[in-house]
């Protein structure tokens, strides 16, 4: 395994506190579901360091400092990097995979811009993804036609002749992936492309989302979507308050100004 391949005991205790678990779950399917659910509901998906010009570091200690100690969020390479180290510290055998996001695509084969984790349990291989923004993608047994229906949403895994496996959500393709071994250099290259490509989603947009008890809460630009309503954020002060109240993200006035969301009149 690579350097810093799992959280230290002190880091694991801080991680469990961050996600609201009083004790470490067992290294089985039930424990995997528990830690995954807690992670997804505590650590927001967000990309704000990219438009702030800070980039995205995959250094294990920097990821821990950001997502756990500073109580920030991150996107898939950050979320699943931390999640992988936590799983290993909990006694799971796990490794990263790379995938292609088809959701919202235009028909072209997308690049490998998503990472998830492959977990080996007594009953076989499972996938566990704590970093797919938006809808919950629960841990699933890696098996043909495996189906999971959290919150009434149907996720299905199926073999794909060209791309290994395809995960669909209510019959809409979400992402494909293979079981090929992924090295740190592969993750570094994919993360760099995803966080820097001109015109890319994470370069041009300002995004935050989290799974709340009653459903997904998402902030895209200045538009806040909740299960109850969609509202426009009026000014920087309200934006800061929304980040803090809804996502637990604390940004200063200068940082919110640097996001450039209120530089021009909105249509």
Q: What is the pTM of this model?
A: 0.95
The per-residue pLDDT for 233 is 97
Residue 109 three-state SS: coil
| Domains detected in the chain | 9-184 (3.30.2140.20), 206-258 (no CATH)
Higher pLDDT, 265 or 203: 203
Q: State yes or no: pLDDT of 266 exceeds 70.
A: no
Give me 83's structure tokens.
């999640």
Q: State yes or no: pLDDT of 159 exceeds 60.
A: yes
Residue 219 vs residues 44, 89, 141, 151, 205: alpha-carbon distances, Å: 11, 32, 31, 21, 10
Q: State yes or no: pLDDT of 86 exceeds 50.
A: yes
Range of lowest pLDDT (101-110, 137-146, 178-187): 101-110
Share of the chain above pLDDT 90, in %: 88
Q: How far is CA 133 from the centre of its chain?
A: 5
Residues designated catalytic? 76, 114, 129
The per-residue pLDDT for 88 is 98
Q: Cβ neighbours of residue 135 under 8 Å, at least 6 residues apart? A: 153, 169, 216
Tens-place pLDDT, residues 57-72: 999 999 999 999 999 9
Question: Which residue, chain included where needed, has tokens 């630009």?
Answer: 221
The per-residue pLDDT for 104 is 75
Q: What is the mean pLDDT of the chain?
A: 94
CB 238 within 8 A of CB 209: no
Q: State yes or no: pLDDT of 151 exceeds 80.
A: no
The per-residue pLDDT for 153 is 86
As a whole number of angstroms, the distance between CA 249 and CA 207 comes to: 12
- In the chain, the largest separation of any two C-alpha atoms, in whole Å, equals 57
Q: State yes or no: pLDDT of 1 exceeds 50.
A: no
Q: How confident is the model at residue 23 (pLDDT cuts 50, 70, 90)?
A: very high
């Amino acid at each position: 395994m690579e350097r810093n391949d799992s959280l230290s005991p002190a880091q694991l205790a801080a991680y469990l506190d961050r996600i609201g678990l009083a004790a470490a779950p067992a290294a089985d399917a039930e424990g995997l579901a528990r830690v995954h659910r807690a992670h997804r509901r505590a650590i927001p998906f967000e990309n704000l360091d990219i438009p702030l010009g800070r980039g995205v570091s995959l250094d294990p200690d920097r990821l821990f400092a950001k997502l756990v100690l500073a109580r920030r969020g991150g996107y898939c390479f950050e979320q699943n990097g931390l999640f992988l180290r936590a799983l290993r510290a909990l006694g799971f055998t796990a490794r990263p995979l790379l995938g292609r996001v088809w959701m919202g695509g235009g028909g072209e084969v997308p690049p490998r811009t998503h990472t998830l984790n492959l977990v080996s349990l007594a009953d076989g291989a499972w996938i566990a993804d704590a970093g797919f923004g938006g809808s919950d993608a629960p841990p699933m047994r890696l098996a043909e036609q495996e189906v999971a229906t959290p919150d009434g949403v149907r996720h299905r895994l199926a073999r794909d002749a060209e791309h290994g496996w395809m995960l669909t959500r209510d019959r809409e393709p979400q992402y494909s992936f293979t079981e090929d071994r992924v090295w740190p250099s592969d993750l570094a290259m994919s993360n760099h492309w995803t966080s820097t490509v001109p015109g890319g989603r994470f370069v041009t947009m300002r995004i935050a989302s989290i799974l709340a008890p009653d459903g997904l809460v998402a902030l895209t630009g200045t538009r806040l979507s909740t299960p109850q309503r969609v509202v426009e954020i009026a000014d920087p002060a309200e934006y800061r308050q929304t980040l803090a109240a809804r996502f637990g993200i604390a940004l200063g006035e200068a940082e919110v100004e640097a996001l450039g969301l209120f530089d021009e009149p909105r249509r």
